[in-house]
Structure 1
């Protein structure tokens, strides 16, 4: 099972992103170079497992709950934009993430990767850059400097992250060949003031 652990923005933030992106997507609709992320798929990935054995999921859920309970909720907002691997030849357009306490997300990513590893999961990726994917290129890399100028004014409301989410993803099973996501478990974060 293909899974990831993520922070999922609440509906008002998703709506703000959609309102911001709509005229930009419409302007680019004829180019066909970018596949925009569906609103319900907007998330910030902390760790990705390309193939989790189903029998490991229960152990992972318990360990994830213990980890999340020790973490404090965090205030975030999406701000500005960027491209991977670079604006001149981009595969991914993304929204940046502004943290109330810098490096907390990096700490969560490292911590949840340890949890996944101890549960026997094989992780993919090593470098963590907090971001929310807005679009992926179609047919190879494309220049994106002009897009980033348009996207760089993105600024959402601040929200408090109340939980980490374990999501299963099935490639090609969603509308128009997009992935289908299923929330497998929600791990509430510890209350404010909890030692983390």
Structure 2
């Protein structure tokens, strides 16, 4: 199973962001992320074997229990790999120093849980972001990043980690469909 551990903003935060983006979407031919799919990936597990699932869930519960909840808001944005050749447009998070440290440690704990369960874990550097859209080819995204830099969403508490399965090609327009199978609570 393709799985990931994630922080999911509450519906109110996503709706606020959607209200900001909606009148602007027609200006770009991007593949926009469906609002119900918006999340911040803490760790990605490419292929979780059924026998390893319980160990992964236990490891994630332990990793989450070691971290305190914190407050966050969606603010600003960026592009991967960079604004001049963007393929992914993303929104960032506003975090104070303590929250940023908790989030980084939470991501490390979620990745370690995967390794301990015998699962392959994506080794890319953790960069907190919410994917908003994908571009079919490298695209100049400076204008969009500046627009996102003017956005500040409502503050919301981060109290849990969602454990998700990614079903490739089962979503709208043959995109992945995400299924939440568990929540693990922060301390």
Unaligned residue ranges in structure 1 (runs of 5+): 191-196
Shift of 1:51: 1.1
Structure that is richer in helix per residue:
2
Distance 1:65 1:10 in 2: 20
The equivalent of 1:14 in structure 2 is 14
Q: Quote how far apart the aligned CAs of 1:126 are.
A: 2.5
Q: How much has 1:103 moved relative to structure 2?
A: 2.4
| Matched residue, 2:71 | 75
Separation of aligned partners in 2, 1:110 and 1:69: 13
Q: Map 1:5-154; keep pairs closer than 5 Å.
A: 5-28=5-28, 32=29, 34-100=30-96, 101=98, 102-138=100-136, 140-154=137-151
SS in 2 for 1:109: helix
How far, CA to CA, are the matches of 2:66 and 2:106 in structure 1? Answer: 11
| CA displacement 1:57-79 (0-9 Å, x = unmatched) | 11111221122122111101111
The verdict on how the C-alpha distance between 1:44 and 1:178 changes in structure 2, with shifts beyond 3 A counting, is same
Report the CA distance between 1:152 and its aligned residue.
1.9
Across the two proteins, how many residue pairs are aligned to each other? 185
Point out 4+ residue stretches in structure 1 off by more than 6 angstroms. none
1:187 aligns with 2:184: yes
Shift in Å at residue 160 of structure 1? 0.5
Structure 2: give runs of 5+ residues left out of the alignment: none
How far is 1:27 from its partner?
2.7
Does 2:185 correspond to 1:160? no
Q: TM-score, normalised by structure 2?
A: 0.95
CA RMSD of aligned residues (A): 1.1
Give, in whole Å, the separation in 1 of the partners of 2:81 and 2:102: 23
The Cα offsets for residues 95-129 of structure 1, whole Å up to 9 and x where unpaired, read as 11111323221111111111110011101132011
**Contact preservation (8 Å) 1:96, 1:131:** yes
